[in-house]
Structure formats: structure tokens, C-alpha cells
A = this chain, B = another copy of it.
Amino acid sequence: MNDRIDEITNNLSRKRISESTIRRLSLYYRALSLLEKEGYETVSSKELAKREKLTPAQVRKDLSFFGSFGTRGLGYPVAELRRQLAAILGIDRQWQVALIGVGNIGSALVGYKEFVRQGFQIVKLFDNDQRKIGSNHKGIVVSDIADLESELKADSIEMVVIAVPATVAQYIVDDVVNAGIKAILNFAPVNLRVPSDVYLRNENMSMELEYLSFAIVNQHAQKRVRT
């Protein structure tokens, strides 16, 4: 099993994976987790495709790319494929995450069960508000943002979620980068500059609504927007 995953990872290291492929892997992983809970031992590409509103050909292509092949008439082994996808996505382990900015969005993220379920554990909180610093927020004591760099280093944090106002986000991300963090998810509606060896993702929830308004305004252009 581990050899198999090493082989897949070696394969991956020679290929370039698109954003939408990774997104689909996350979707397959979710579908397989549910199928496993429902007691299924195998699943066909057709069934997986139906659950994720994709074509069976797309599913087979994606999974063969990652080294998994279904057996004709039997389909894919649910539990094993789920474990393989977890390893590929890097969610077969726990990640220590720090959240910066305990405002509206930050507070919602501390309680976001989906993070925990996928192995992302928020273990540190930072804010600059004196009323929040030192207070307990769902079991985590809020640290002073002034100590950001040193505390991130001391606590071997691997990922950081930024939920501060747009105006200060670049200063914050600079400190985060100086602390040696290589993976950042940014909720501030601003483009942040990071060195090329740092992975940065921007979450802008308004963009999803713009996708919907685009779809409505141009609805003759496409019958249905992929979800």
C-alpha cells in the first residue's frame, strides 16, 4: 500500500496537475468517504460520476492519471481508493494551522467542522484587539499578533489562515513568510505578494456569487454551471 502511494507520488512529481483536477480529487474523496460510511465496498465510475455530476469518462481519466484502475464489472475498491486519495491530497495526516484575525470570518472558521474532519486543526489564534488577546475562543487562547513571528516558529505551525482586514494583510503575510510558513490561505480581499516558494490561495466568497450573476446574465451561453 505505501509502495503504491510512493509510486503514485513519484509519478505526480513528473506531471503538472491542474487546479480543477485537484478540486475533483477533493470531490471524489468526499464521495468515497460517504460511500464507505454507507457500507459500499466497490463503486463504478458511473456511480462516482453521477454523485459528482461529472462524466464517467472524466472520472476514469482522473483516477487512471493517479494510478487507480477500476475492475470491469466490479468498479473501484471504495476504502482503498479513499485512502489513496487521502495520501495524494496530503490529508492522511493532521496539519497544525494558525488563524490570524478573530473577527466575523475568523470566528466562523474556528468552528468550521469541515476543517477538523479533513485533518486541518486550528491550534493557534492571533488578534491585535486587546479585548480578545488572552481570552479563550473555543478552547484556544488568543495570542497577541505582535508575537506572530516568534510564536509561529515556536509552535511548528505548518499552515496559516489570514482573516484580517485588507489594509493590513500584506504586513501580516510578510511576518508569516518570515516565520518560514510555506502554505497560506487568505480571506482578505486583496492580492498578497509572497516569495515563489510559498503556496498562497485566496478565498474570496464574493467570486462565487459573481459566477452566479454571470450565469444568470449570460444564461443562454451555458445551460448549466458546473458545481
The answer, among B88, B114, B201, for a CB contact under 8 Å with A189, is: B114
Residues of B within 8 A of A183 (CB): 212-213, 215-216
- Is A147 close to B, CB under 8 A? no
Residues of B within 8 A of A20 (CB): 19-20
Minimum distance in angstroms from A85 CB to a CB of chain B: 10
- Taking residues whose C-beta sits less than 8 angstroms from the other chain, chain A's interface range is 35 or more
- Is A131 close to B, CB under 8 A? no
Among A85-125, those with CB < 8 Å from B are 87-91, 95, 97, 104-105, 107-109, 111-115, 117-120
This chain's copy number in the assembly? 2
Minimum distance in angstroms from A132 CB to a CB of chain B: 16
A130 to B216, CA, bound (A): 34
Contact: B118 with A218, CB < 8 Å? no
Q: Chain A interface (Cβ within 8 Å of chain B)?
A: 9, 12-17, 19-20, 22-23, 25-26, 29-31, 51-53, 87-91, 95, 97, 104-105, 107-109, 111-115, 117-120, 158-159, 161, 182-185, 189, 191, 196-197, 199-218, 220-227
Given known A112-B206, A225-B201, contact A218–B9 (CB-CB < 8 A): yes
Contact: B112 with A105, CB < 8 Å? yes
Given known A112-B206, A224-B199, A226-B19, contact A9–B217 (CB-CB < 8 A): yes
